[in-house]
A and B are shown apart, each in its own frame.
Chain A
Amino acid sequence: MLERCEELTRDTSLPSVRAWKERTGGVAIGFLPIYVPRELLHAQGVLPVGLMGGGEIEIIRGDAYYQSYICHLPRSTVELGLNGSLDCLDGMIFPAICDVIRNLSGMWQMMFPAKLVHYLDVPQDFDRSMGGRFYRHELGVLSQKLVEAGARPLDPDALRASIRTYNVHHGLVAELYELRRREPWRVPTAELYVMLRAGLVLPVEEHNGMLGEYLEAVRADESRRPMDQARVLLTGSFCEQPPLGLIKTLERAGCYIVDDDFVQVSRWFRHALPEDGDPVEALVEAFLDDAIPGPTRYVDEGEKGRDLIERVERAGAEGVLFCAPSFCDPALLDQPMGTAAATRAGIPWTAFKYSEDTGQFQVIREQAGTFADSIKLWSEVTTP
């Protein structure tokens, strides 16, 4: 199962999506990080397909669209679009993450005029009468565009059913994270990561089954035993994702990653959504009140970093890895507030950057290795 998940993560030509379309004839819509209301797409019969960039693919045409000081994800996404990898998609949703992604949505409209292209604007005012009204309207616009792209109209009962299905998914992902928090040796993050990535290109029902199977297997696997590693929280990797090799490197270097920012669409809400009542309102209210804080969501100035400290405490982490993509404005602009909060709280931290196609991990290995050593050996005062 893990091999298949890794293959689904690596294969940017989306074979599972192509197979789904052949089987069902349905509409498949791609979306970029971080969050889109997958329940809404699912309820209209659409397969939501999470795109996390091109990984290690060679960029030929994508580089022509962006300056060298722009992150890697948009240029690899352009490359995938232009080399035909995304032909199986009937459209794309670009959530409001940063200016680069906003610009990418405009470019996409020009490059692929025959396809659905939607920039999903989201509120930064979390008052119901303002942000709530705005977001409900945005969801309506999105739903209508999906219909125009061939999806069925939104039906409240279907949306409630989709919410139930995604609540199962939410629960399984939460279970996976909780098991890793408690027994990190049972759930290596490299495995958790490919499990989550596979979920981006599979129907949610199929992924729910895989998650359940994986949880059962690792709980029963007696060969997985604890090692003496430093428990760390990894933050900053919510959009462009690190290469799998980097995650493996961090774990081999002596770190147990016990919380992270990977594939946040699976954990965007803290709790399951209400399964009765107005289902659109359930999506709106959850977005306003229950979404996890992050750099792309407005947080009052004085409160920046507080969530990080709370996460460290909840996870029982001994240190923080600030692991952000190069040139990622949201992550890197928030980082000084995070590092300051960690320093104030006496939490050890270290910071490094990556690109989705980083292939050499030696420097990061040394940095993470010495960081883990410093936690294990010097986190308490020792008497000479």
Chain B
Amino acid sequence: MRAAAIMPAAVPDQLTAGIDVGSATVKVALMRVGDGCGEVLVEGRSERIRRREPEVVAAGLFDDVLGAAGVERKQLDYVATTGEGELVAFRTGHFYGMTTHARGARYLEPGADACIDVGALHARAILMDARAKVLGYRMTSQCASGSGQFLENISRYLGVTMGEIGTLSLKADVPEPCSSICAVLAETDVINMVSRGISTANILKGIHLSMAGRYVKLLNSAGAKHVVLVTGGLAADVGLMAALREHAAESGASFTIRGHEHSALAGAIGAALWGAFRARKIARLGVSLEEASAGA
């Protein structure tokens, strides 16, 4: 997988890692970046936190990824964290989530002018330029009704797994509208729907459409025009992706919704790529990280 390098540099290839610590999942990406190889995803994995210390999960997954790639920690030029990764003590540097998702999105979908990061706790529509510089953003409010956590709660009520949600939703014939404002009201809606005998598929599709409606509004408000990549864990939900495309088409949006098999890793990939960028920038200055940190 390659994308256009955004910095010229007469420096050796960089091997960097990105660690994206989310509220539910940790993602790690190992990237090789250089003039000869471009930008290559060497290895990438994600792991649910499941009531463990996020730092511990991050360290374990990080070592697993390095092990799978046959790489030792000392070979890395930069370990970049994002999300809640500022708690990871062995990092070289930390980047903010929007910065890394924008970069990861441009890597996975070089034509994207926007991405929407749909995570466990919130969704963010991010507008960026060709260098992956964030130009603007819009975010869901504090209510959890637009988040993966909400969908996970609903799946538990309905007795289906997260993996089944997407395919079930695609089978819906008469989607049942659901509150898009409040997670509590939406959950009450779902209980009513179940008691009224609405099929699981139609309930799920209704929820997907309600979430998709919020995301399309965010994207329009952020100014997305052309190609939008869905990043974050929910990009793997085929039902949500279909609902997003339907909503975008119905609302007359000018952008196209895209997904990618590595969408969940976008933050980690972006962090690793920005890490490589910084490593090369510091190398170009001819100083060590220590000297750079000392303001040399």
Contact = CB atoms under 8 A, between A and B. Distances in A.
A182 to B, nearest CB: 5
Nearest to B130: A384
- Which interface class (under 10, 10 to 19, 20 to 34, 35 or more) fits B? 20 to 34
Contact of A228 (B8, B96, B293): B293
A185 interface: yes
Interface stretch (A50-58, A115-123, A142-150, A375-383): A375-383
Interface residues of A, number: 31
B295 interface: yes
B122 to A, nearest CB: 11
A183 B278 CA distance: 19
Interface stretch (A6-14, A72-80, A250-258): A250-258
A382 B131 contact: yes
A160 B242 CA distance: 80
A382 B7 contact: yes
Given A183-B294, A227-B91, A231-B295, A366 B96 contact: yes
Given A370-B99, A377-B99, A228 B92 contact: yes
Interface in B60-102: 78, 86-87, 91-96, 98-99
A182 B290 CA distance: 10
A226 B99 contact: no
Interface in B275-296: 277-278, 281-282, 289-290, 292-295
B236 interface: no
Contact of A229 (B93, B133, B281): B93
A183 B87 CA distance: 21
Contacts of A380: 281
A188 interface: no
B293 A254 contact: no
Interface in A349-384: 366, 369-370, 372-373, 376-378, 380, 382-384
B6 interface: yes
Nearest to A317: B295
Contacts of B95: 254, 369, 373, 376
Contacts of A231: 293, 295
B86 A228 contact: no
Given A181-B295, A377-B99, A378-B133, 19 more contacts: A182-B295, A183-B293, A226-B292, A226-B293, A228-B78, A228-B292, A228-B293, A253-B86, A254-B96, A366-B96, A369-B95, A369-B96, A373-B95, A373-B274, A376-B93, A382-B131, A383-B7, A383-B8, A384-B131
Interface of B: 6-8, 78, 86-87, 91-96, 98-99, 130-131, 133-134, 274, 277-278, 281-282, 289-290, 292-295
